[in-house]
Amino acid sequence: MHHINRSKVYYYICKLLVFMKYFAIILVFLCTTLGVNSQTYEIGGLIGGTNYIGDVGKTNYIAPNNMAFGAIFKWNRSARHSFRGSLMVASISGDDSESKESRRKERGYKFTNTIMELSIGLEFTFWDFSMYSGQPAQTPYLYTGLTYFGYNSLAKDPQTNVIEDYDKSGAIAIPMVVGYKTTIGTKLVLGFEIGARYTLTDNLDGSNPLGSLEDNDSLNFGNTVSKDWYVFTGATLTFTFGRRPCYCNF
C-alpha cells in the first residue's frame, strides 16, 4: 500500500468533519420534518479500499490498494428501496512499474491523489428487506445516483516527468454499486459492496490537465478521449432508528 502524506490526510479529515457537520444538520432536518410518517432511518459508517482505472499503472477493474472511509445515511421508504446519502474520503494511486503493459513500464509515471465525495441516490433491494419480521433478513442490492467529488488537479513536470498537484478541482461521477446486506440483531445492518464511479474528468492521474494548464497539449498523455474511474470495495455498518414504518403512499 502506498504511503499517504500525513498533512494531506489531516487536511481531508478536517474537510470531512466540516461536511459531516452539514450532513448532521440535514439528518436532523429530515428526522424532525419527516419523522411523523413513521419511517425507518439508518446511519453509520463505511470503510474499505479503493483503486483507480485510467492512464497510469494497473488496468485491473477491482484491485483495492488504498484506504477509504466515510459516513452513510439511509431513509427507508419501502421494504424494497431507500434514499441514500454518503460522504467518503479516499486515496487513489497509480504506478506504471506495477502495470503488465510494457509501454507503461518503460514510461514510468506514477501519481497519488485524494478524493472527497458526496453521493446521493436510490438503493434497490432484490427482495423485501425488513428489520421487523422477527427473522434475520438479507438481500443483494443495487445503488445508483449522483456523486460530486473534489480532488487534486495534477500535471507532469515537463523537466522531470514527475506528476504533481497544482490546484484543486471538482467533478461529477455516476456511481454503479452492487452489494449484499444482512441484519445483525434488530438494530444493525452490515453490508458489503463494490462500487465503480464513472467520472466526468480525465485528470485524476494528471494525463489531461485543466484550468491554467488546459491549453498546454505537451502535458497530455494517454487516451485523452476516455474518462477516469475509481472503485470502492468495502463494508458498511449502520444503526437503524425510528418507529416501525407503514410504507404507505410511496
Q: Give 33-39's long-range contacts (Cβ < 8 A, gap of 24+).
A: 34/75, 35/242, 35/243, 37/245, 37/246, 37/248, 38/242, 38/243, 38/244, 38/245, 38/246, 39/75, 39/76, 39/77, 39/242, 39/243, 39/245
Instruction: Provide the CB-side half-sphere exposure for 209 (13 A, CA).
Output: 20
Q: What is the pLDDT along the chain (250 residues), one digit of tens a residue?
A: 344 455 555 555 565 565 555 555 555 555 554 444 435 899 999 999 999 999 999 989 999 999 999 999 999 988 899 999 999 999 999 999 999 999 999 999 999 999 999 999 999 999 988 877 678 899 999 999 999 999 999 999 988 989 999 999 999 999 999 999 999 988 899 999 999 999 999 999 999 998 888 888 889 998 878 999 999 999 999 999 876 655 555 4
Rounded CA-CA distance 247/250 in Å is: 7
Q: Is residue 64 part of a domain?
A: yes
Q: Tell me the residue ranges of DSSP E strands in the chain.
A: 40-53, 66-76, 81-95, 110-125, 138-156, 163-184, 188-199, 229-241
Q: Tell me the residue ranges of DSSP E strands in 77-187.
A: 81-95, 110-125, 138-156, 163-184
Provide the pLDDT for residue 15.
Answer: 56
Note down the domain range covering 29.
6-35+48-241
- We report the CATH number of the domain holding residue 116 as 2.40.160
Q: Is residue 165 part of a domain?
A: yes
Q: Is residue 1 part of a domain?
A: no
Q: Is there a contact between 40 and 131 (Cβ–Cβ < 8 Å)? A: yes
Q: Is residue 94 part of a domain?
A: yes
CA 167 to chain centre: 21
Give how many domains the chain has, as a whole number: 1
Q: Is residue 250 part of a domain?
A: no
Provide the pLDDT for residue 4.
Answer: 43
Lookup result for grid cell 509501454 = 103
Instruction: Supply φ then ψ for residue 205, to 5 degrees.
Output: -110, 5
Q: Is residue 43 part of a domain?
A: no
